Structure formats: structure tokens, C-alpha cells
Structure 1
Amino acid sequence: MRIYHILHQMEEPYKEVFSLRFFGELSFRDIGKTENWSCVTYHRARKKIKERMEGKHEPGL
């Protein structure tokens, strides 16, 4: 349940890309502008979520 709270606080496009990949199980190609953009955005979102769960909160998350 905590991940939903963290995800809700994230800015776009991180929130959308992470949700589509993790919950929607879409491929990076299906998600976005380019496959590379989707992949990079997803991994940045995942890093932000991990840091937040470990207590390393960044402003603007």
C-alpha cells in the first residue's frame, strides 16, 4: 500500500510510465515516445520510489 502513496506523490511522466510498466505490464515500446525514453523514465521513477521507501526523500519527488 505504501508504494501507491509514494506513486501518487510523484510527478508526471514518472507516475504514468511506472504505472503502465509495473501494473499494466506494457513493454517500453508500447508505453511511450520512444523505447529508450520509456526505459530511462521508468528506471528513474523506480530509483525515486526506492529512495523514498528507504527514507532518502528528495525534494520534488
Structure 2
Amino acid sequence: MNVGKALMEKLLEKAKAKGIKKLYLDSQIKAIGFYRKFGFHECSDILMMQEWIIFQ
């Protein structure tokens, strides 16, 4: 199993158990597809200088 996938699944599991309904994270643009697979979507413009984006 991919380590990143395992970490994200554990994070989402713990958040759900605690009743957390919304998570925000920042990511490099090249990882957009990874986070979309878990249901996240972009909620900001791309920060051009750093090539980062914020997900919800």
C-alpha cells in the first residue's frame, strides 16, 4: 500500500471519528489528483510563487 494513501485514510478515519466535517490542507500542484481521489477540491487560487494550492 502506498504510504501517502495509508496516511490519508487514517487521517480521514480519525477526523470522522471525532466528528470533524471539514478539513483544509495545502498541497503542491502536482499532488492535486491524489487529493481529489479522497474527495478534496480546490478552494483557492494557485499561489503562483510557490505553486501551492489550498484544498477543502
Structure ranking higher in helix proportion: 1
* TM more than 0.5: no
TM-score, normalised by the number of residues in structure 1:
0.31
TM-score, normalised by the number of residues in structure 2:
0.34
Larger Rg: 2
